[in-house]
Amino acid sequence: MRGTLITLEGVEGSGKSTQCARLAESLRARGLDVVLTREPDGTRMGAAIRRLFETDGPPPGPLTQVFLFMAARHQHLVEVIRPALARGALVISDRYMDATLAYQGFGQGVALETIRDLNAMATGGLVPDLTLVLDLAPAVGMTRIKGRRLDAFEKMDLGFHHRVREGYLEIARTDKRRVVVLDADQDAEGLQGQIAAAVDDLLRRGHLHAG
């Protein structure tokens, strides 16, 4: 049996990480084998790559960013995602392939075709069964993360975050079967309920397998 891959995406401050944890907890309580993981830092190598964006200096150029995130992604696939799916687990990943399209493609102008090709290479063509985009106005998200130590992306101007948001919405429009957009400008409980409903719908359809 092969497992199921669910990814959560969204702008900064959209509540992704909290929602990933809540979703994992609720599915585990139902007895499912759940692996909760994240990009770029789902592996040791990915964590080292993430640290490159947490220094005070300027971030690497956009195409370099693409290569770094792709390296983290491939390692994540090999070390974490593929083995979990092979044993039939349900994998929840806090960010995956759409993040590079949104942040480096729509956000910073790297050609979308280039990113799609590299994503296909890095993932071996593994597309999520379901992707939830937690949609939020960037200004609201930035207010939510105020006071945290910010990484290179969180320090970018609002225009960048608007392009990232629009990028995610465009990805959702072009891949309606896979991508569900949810309004993240609501309380965590309400959003949790909508996420649970989308996941239940996927699991009810039951035949869906990543790979």
Q: Which of 40, 42, 59, 128 binds ligand TMP (CB under 6 A)?
A: 40
Query: In this structure, are strands 130-135 and 179-183 parallel, antiparallel, or unpaired?
Result: parallel
- Count of residues near ligand TMP by CB under 6 A: 13
In order of 28, 131, 138, 173, 194, the CA distances from 180 in angstroms are 22, 6, 19, 9, 10
Least CB distance to ligand TMP at residue 69 (A): 4
- Measured from the CB atom, the residue of 88 and 114 that comes closer to ligand TMP is 114
Please tell me whether residue 106 binds ligand TMP under the rule CB under 6 A.
no
Minimum CB distance to ligand TMP, residue 58 (Å): 15
Report residue 92 as tokens: 């929840």
Q: Specify whether the CB–CB gap between 116 and 101 falls below 8 A.
A: yes
The burial of 52, by beta-carbon neighbours within 10 Å (0-12 exposed, 13-18 middle, 19 or more buried), is given as middle
Q: Of the listed pieces 98-106, 116-124, 175-183, 199-207, which binds ligand TMP according to CB under 6 A? A: 98-106
Any contact of residue 39 with ligand TMP (CB under 6 A)?
Answer: yes
Residue placing its CB nearer to ligand TMP in the complex, 113 or 207:
113
Among 7, 35, 69, 179, binds ligand TMP (CB under 6 A): 69
Report the phi/psi class of residue 10: left, alpha or beta, with left for phi > 0 and alpha for psi in -120 to 50.
Answer: left
Contact call for residue 110 and ligand TMP (CB under 6 A): no
List, in order, residues 6 or more apart from 104 with CB less than 8 Å away: 62, 63, 65, 66, 69, 110, 115
β-pair partners for 183: 135
Q: Which two tokens stand for residue 142?
A: 């930035």
**Binding to ligand TMP by residue 135, rule CB under 6 A?**
no
CB of 206 to ligand TMP, least distance (A): 29
Cα–Cα distance, 5 to 37 (Å, whole number): 11
Enumerate residues 10-29 that contact ligand TMP by CB under 6 A.
12
- For ligand TMP, the binding residue among 34, 99, 181, 199 (CB under 6 A) is 99
CB of 79 to ligand TMP, least distance (A): 15
Return residues touching ligand TMP (CB under 6 A). 12, 39-40, 69, 94-95, 99-100, 103-104, 151, 153-154
